Structure 1
Amino acid sequence: MGRIITFFRRVASGSFKRFFRNLNIVHKESGKNRLWLFFSMIFSMFRYGIGYLDYMTFGFAYIKKDKRKTFMTMDDNLSLARRLNNPEANPTFTDKLNFNRTFNEYLKRDFVDLKDGFDAFEKFLEGKTCFFAKEPASFGGLGVMKVELEGKDLRELYDDLMEKKLFLAEEAITQHEEMNKLCARSVNTIRIVTLLSDKGNANFVYALIRVGSGKNDVDNVTSGGMYTLLSKEGVITHPMFCDKTVSYYTEHPNNGFDFMGFKVPYFDEALKLCQKAAKVEKRMRYVGWDVAITPTGPVLVEGNNLPGYDMCQNHRFHDSNEGMKAAFEYAEKN
């Protein structure tokens, strides 16, 4: 009954138009009959609990029934987070200032809370030519601004940032030259998901690499960035996907860099860093860590208390046509 209610609620909210938009995308990609796809999408919603977006992402048009059960669903993901993550620890991850204070050891860069006053802000700026200003509760690349200091009146700048509620000022990250090859304008981060198991082990679940479009200073998918699943060795083995264009890329569409075979420097060190960080706040057992790679090693950018289940299961990233539900279950138990 719950899924029926959810379905009709989506129809009433106007997402039925998006349903048909996705249906047409899948039709164009797969060549399958639209009517068949329509009923397949509806059936999958009721039988497997996946919406039309996941139907497209998971490639259910190509996947047989016996393998459809191998996919982690939105409900599975929410259930996992509710089971493993204590809501009392949420502010550590939803507020960037709290996160920076808690995981300062793993940031390896300077930051300041502008609410501490102008003098603290002025001291933070000593020796810097630029920095990033962030709204502490922002996410998805929103509420972030790169600030160049040349020609700026510091008092006016401080007042402007305070008015915009950009209370967190962070030292800019210097990216490893290999990561710059992907896209030099943005810091191209690695999303590493860890799960603190029932046995107390900080287990690695998956890693995605995100690459900026070259048109702005962030790599977020919502800002036109691309992503793909990394191998366990930190190598790009499958094409990048861009939500904005609904297209896959083996080369960067703007700079022409060949993604295939690229190996993330310091990848093993990045995994170890996240596994250490996973044991700092043990009330939060299921976390997605955003990691940047600098010339001297990995650093934490931020943490997420509700990691994604969908991007890592994109059907173009898995030659077996199987989902990752078993990987999540194994990480929780072992």
Structure 2
Amino acid sequence: MAGSLGWGNRLRYLARRARAIDTANLRRLAGLIAASSGRSRAAITLDMLWAAVRHETAFQDYFDWDFHLLTRQERETFMTHPKSNHLALRLNAPEHRSTFADKARFNARFAPYLGREWLDLRTASDGELAAFLSRHERVIAKIADSLGGDGIAAYSSAAISDIDAFRTERLSHRQVLLEEFLTQHPEMARLNTSSVNTLRIVTYLNDAGEVTTLARVLKMGNGGDVDNFSDGGMYTMLDEQGVAHHAAFDGSGRVFREHPLTGTSIVGFAVPNWGAVRSLVDALAREVPEIRYVGWDIAITPEGAAVIEGNYNTGVFQLKPGATGVREGLLPVYRAAIGF
């Protein structure tokens, strides 16, 4: 992709940010950084605002990737959520985004890759729902258009005594999808048993039909039903062989070399069935060529790998400099592959 993300996009984004600025979150994050760094909140706040203008850095980006520790040159190597948003809007055809934004449509389109049963509570008959619950000891209810794990909850089928009441309650919370709870690989379960611990693999499909992996992420829950970073989970990055070499961190900035609930070492953890992951992601990235930039959530099963969902406007993941000593982000990787 020739050219750059453009100052026009940047100025429009900054205008929107200025109108919708979350001053309470800005103060909260600046206070956390000030308390741990010994710098004044005022100085951190001004620097956060400057980074938003100069580097298109969201406030959470600044906090997560320790921008207060980085030089200008180091900051310029980091991919940010606003930059990623520009790419998503530019590379992903609007008429095909709903296939990814709606989990029911995604499940129907990517059915061969799901590795699990599912049904739509809006259309399933009472018999179909009863049979589904009888086949699966544990199920997951989802809101079709939710983001960041919002509205996802797990249920024991044995505890559901009134099927009609269960359906009514789920629909009242917009939880229209019911899925079989995936059995994760025992090695993945060693990290955390409360949630399926997944991977986020970010890919780009170029004009020649070649798939490039931009980021490989290991996500872990921390006692909740989901492993999402925005819902108490944590993450670290993986190398090309699926091995984690650095500590994980969560949305509060806490750093973990071992999982706090299981004691399993995160540093050195090797994702099982890595060959199956690579093959699956390559196939997924080619399935809807009009959507070229995607973050895939992948579960590792005893049999191989299964896709959870695809995010056409994927989040951004990078190592935390203060926890790892790595002070270079993934922007050069994105630029080399995409050409902006």
Task: Normalising by structure 1, report the TM-score.
Answer: 0.89
Give the match for residue 71 of structure 1: 78
The structure 2 residue matched to 1:312, chosen from 305, 314, 318, is 318
The structure 1 residue matched to 2:142, chosen from 128, 134, 142, is 134
Give the match for residue 185 of structure 1: 194
The structure 1 residue matched to 2:329, chosen from 293, 313, 323, is 323
Q: Secondary structure at the match of 1:278?
A: helix
Tell me the CA shift for residue 319 of structure 1.
4.1
**CA RMSD across the alignment:** 2.4
Tell me the CA shift for residue 175 of structure 1.
1.0
Give the match for residue 220 of structure 2: 211
Distance verdict in 2 for CA 1:250–1:135, change over 3 Å: same
The structure 1 residue matched to 2:33, chosen from 26, 44, 49, is 26
Give the counterpart letter for 1:124 in structure 2. Answer: F
Tell me, yes or no, if structure 1 residue 62 matches structure 2 residue 69: yes
The structure 2 residue matched to 1:277, chosen from 279, 284, 306, is 284
Q: Is the 8 A contact 2:204 2:337 kept in 1?
A: yes
Q: Is the 8 A contact 2:236 2:249 kept in 1?
A: yes
Give the match for residue 6 of structure 2: none
For 1:67 and 1:195, how far apart are their aligned partners in 2? 24
Q: Secondary structure at the match of 1:61?
A: helix
Tell me the CA shift for residue 228 of structure 1.
1.2
Q: Secondary structure at the match of 2:287?
A: coil
Tell me the CA shift for residue 210 of structure 1.
1.2
Tell me the CA shift for residue 33 of structure 1.
5.1
Distance verdict in 2 for CA 1:66–1:223, change over 3 Å: closer
Tell me the CA shift for residue 118 of structure 1.
1.9
Q: Is the 8 A contact 2:216 2:238 kept in 1?
A: yes
For 1:61 and 1:164, how far apart are their aligned partners in 2? 40
Task: Normalising by structure 2, report the TM-score.
Answer: 0.87
Note the residue ranges of structure 2 that are not aligned, 5 or more in a row.
1-10
Q: Secondary structure at the match of 1:46?
A: helix
Tell me, yes or no, if structure 1 residue 46 matches structure 2 residue 60: no
For 2:273 and 2:92, how far apart are their aligned partners in 1? 29
Identity of aligned residues (%): 33
Q: Is the 8 A contact 1:239 1:317 kept in 2?
A: yes
Tell me the CA shift for residue 301 of structure 1.
0.8
Give the counterpart letter for 2:133 in structure 1. Answer: L
Tell me, yes or no, if structure 1 residue 148 matches structure 2 residue 195: no
Distance verdict in 2 for CA 1:158–1:333, change over 3 Å: same
Distance verdict in 2 for CA 1:30–1:126, change over 3 Å: same
Tell me the CA shift for residue 204 of structure 1.
0.7
For 1:3 and 1:299, how far apart are their aligned partners in 2? 35
Tell me the CA shift for residue 137 of structure 1.
1.6
Q: Is the 8 A contact 1:198 1:333 kept in 2?
A: no
Deviates more, 1:126-135 or 1:173-182: 126-135
Task: Map Cα deviations across residues 272-303 of structure 1 (whole Å, 9 max, x no partner).
Answer: 20111111111111111111111111111111
Deviates more, 1:110-119 or 1:167-176: 110-119
Tell me the CA shift for residue 107 of structure 1.
0.6
The structure 2 residue matched to 1:82, chosen from 85, 89, 106, is 89
The structure 2 residue matched to 1:249, chosen from 253, 256, 262, is 256
Give the match for residue 8 of structure 2: none
Tell me the CA shift for residue 198 of structure 1.
2.6
For 1:125 and 1:154, how far apart are their aligned partners in 2? 9
Aligned length: 328
Distance verdict in 2 for CA 1:33–1:280, change over 3 Å: same
Q: Secondary structure at the match of 1:193?
A: strand
Give the match for residue 167 of structure 1: 176
